[in-house]
């Protein structure tokens, strides 16, 4: 196992971190396979990862990740709190709410969290999060009081991570990316504001999809080729721990985007959107999310993708048909014909929804 600096925190983290979703008991849809192990089994799996050099364990408040936070706390107590770094989070955006959430998380863990993130910060809650008496303010206070060691922002949105990168109150960022959805990582690599922050990256396996198409070495090395602190991998069995933690990732080879697409093209015609998030829709369609759902439909998450697409794809396609602005296409470095694709996805969704009803 190799280690990297976590920004300016002074911490050194294993370049592969343990994501605790698969050890939760319960059901978190969309996310990687979960195995619902009992606490003793979960502790054994995490201990195995620790013995292989993993020192970073990422979780979220109960019930966001089921009972994973409690299992992680039991593991910390068993192996010795000082041996591991705990990264925790919750989806609260006002100061009061996240302050209470951190205290609850500490109770669940039976200890402090090294890093605590305001989780799933998005354009709709960013002002509450970063503004006066918001979550960032409260996390800064909790840090000063010694209840957490470092503050964090977790988001799937580049602009929000960039805002966090420029905010001196934030120590660590958590974003998502993989060898297919690498647009955000490409932008982070080119933006100097990120250089002083710790950066954890999740969705390395794309919710468990990509290992069906690529070796885990390719997936992990590809993400580690970016200037990140640690790649978080959801692990739920000893075998998965061995696969992720015993490989040789030292070449940090980044496969060419076209190579990745050529593998996927054997199964379907993927939309060539790398989720760079450079496009904005005047009608607020989240273009990159719609395109992801299309690709995920063919990659094995068909039920989930269809359900999500069915919520708003008709309105999105109709907006495109009426749209006179169409600036989204000028913003797309890949030259995607976005309105056409929206209509194609609407047709696909309607056909499959019809078939599933029949």
- Residues at the contact surface with ligand SF4, assessed by CB under 6 A: 183, 273-279, 281-283, 285, 287-288, 291, 319-320, 323, 325-328, 331-332, 334, 336, 338-339
Structure tokens at 298: 């063919």
Closest distance to ligand SF4 from the beta carbon of 167 (Å): 24
* CA dihedral (351, 354, 356, 358) positive or negative: negative
When the beta carbons of 149 and 275 are compared against ligand SF4, the nearer one is 275
Closest distance to ligand SF4 from the beta carbon of 313 (Å): 12
Between CA 349 and CA 300 the distance in angstroms is 15
Residue partners of 306: CB distance under 8 A and separation at least 6: 297, 349, 352, 353, 356
First to last CA, the chain: 52
When the beta carbons of 100 and 315 are compared against ligand SF4, the nearer one is 315
Between CA 186 and CA 349 the distance in angstroms is 31
Between CA 25 and CA 22 the distance in angstroms is 8
Q: Which of 287, 249, 239 is nearest to 49 (CA)?
A: 239
Structure tokens at 185: 């990582």
When the beta carbons of 5 and 337 are compared against ligand SF4, the nearer one is 337
Closest distance to ligand SF4 from the beta carbon of 207 (Å): 18
When the beta carbons of 89 and 288 are compared against ligand SF4, the nearer one is 288
Closest distance to ligand SF4 from the beta carbon of 292 (Å): 9
When the beta carbons of 51 and 340 are compared against ligand SF4, the nearer one is 340
Closest distance to ligand SF4 from the beta carbon of 222 (Å): 18
Residue partners of 76: CB distance under 8 A and separation at least 6: 57, 84, 86, 109, 110, 111
Closest distance to ligand SF4 from the beta carbon of 303 (Å): 24
When the beta carbons of 8 and 327 are compared against ligand SF4, the nearer one is 327
């Amino acid at each position: 196992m190799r280690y990297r600096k976590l920004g300016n925190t002074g911490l050194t983290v294993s370049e592969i971190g343990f994501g605790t979703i698969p050890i939760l008991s319960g059901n978190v849809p969309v996310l990687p396979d979960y195995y619902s192990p009992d606490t003793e089994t979960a502790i054994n799996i995490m201990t195995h990862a620790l013995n292989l050099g993993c020192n970073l364990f990422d979780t979220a408040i109960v019930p966001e990740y089921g009972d994973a936070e409690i299992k992680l706390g039991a593991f910390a107590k068993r192996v010795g709190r000082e041996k591991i770094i705990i990264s925790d989070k919750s989806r609260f955006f006002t100061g009061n709410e996240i302050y209470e959430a951190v205290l609850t998380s500490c109770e669940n863990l039976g200890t402090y969290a090294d890093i605590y993130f305001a989780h799933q910060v998005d354009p709709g809650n960013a002002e509450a999060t970063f503004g006066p008496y918001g979550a960032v303010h409260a996390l800064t206070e909790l840090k000063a009081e010694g209840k957490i060691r470092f503050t964090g922002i977790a988001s799937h949105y580049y602009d929000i991570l960039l805002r966090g990168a420029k905010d001196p109150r934030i120590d660590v960022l958590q974003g998502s990316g993989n060898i297919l959805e690498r647009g955000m990582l490409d932008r982070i690599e080119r933006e100097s504001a990120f250089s002083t922050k710790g950066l954890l990256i999740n969705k390395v396996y794309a919710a468990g999809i990509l290992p069906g198409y690529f070796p885990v070495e390719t997936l992990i090395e590809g993400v580690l080729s970016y200037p990140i602190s640690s790649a978080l991998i959801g692990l739920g069995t000893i075998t998965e721990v061995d696969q992720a933690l015993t490989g040789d990732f030292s070449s940090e080879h980044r496969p060419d985007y076209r190579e990745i697409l050529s593998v996927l093209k054997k199964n379907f015609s993927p939309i060539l959107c790398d989720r760079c998030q450079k496009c904005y829709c005047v009608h607020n369609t989240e273009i990159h999310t719609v395109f992801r759902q299309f690709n995920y439909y063919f990659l094995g998450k068909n039920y989930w993708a269809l359900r999500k697409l069915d919520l708003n794809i008709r309105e999105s396609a109709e907006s495109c048909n009426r749209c006179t602005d169409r600036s989204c296409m000028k913003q797309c470095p890949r030259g995607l014909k976005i309105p056409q694709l929206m209509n194609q996805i609407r047709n696909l969704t309607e056909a499959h929804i019809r078939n599933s009803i029949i």
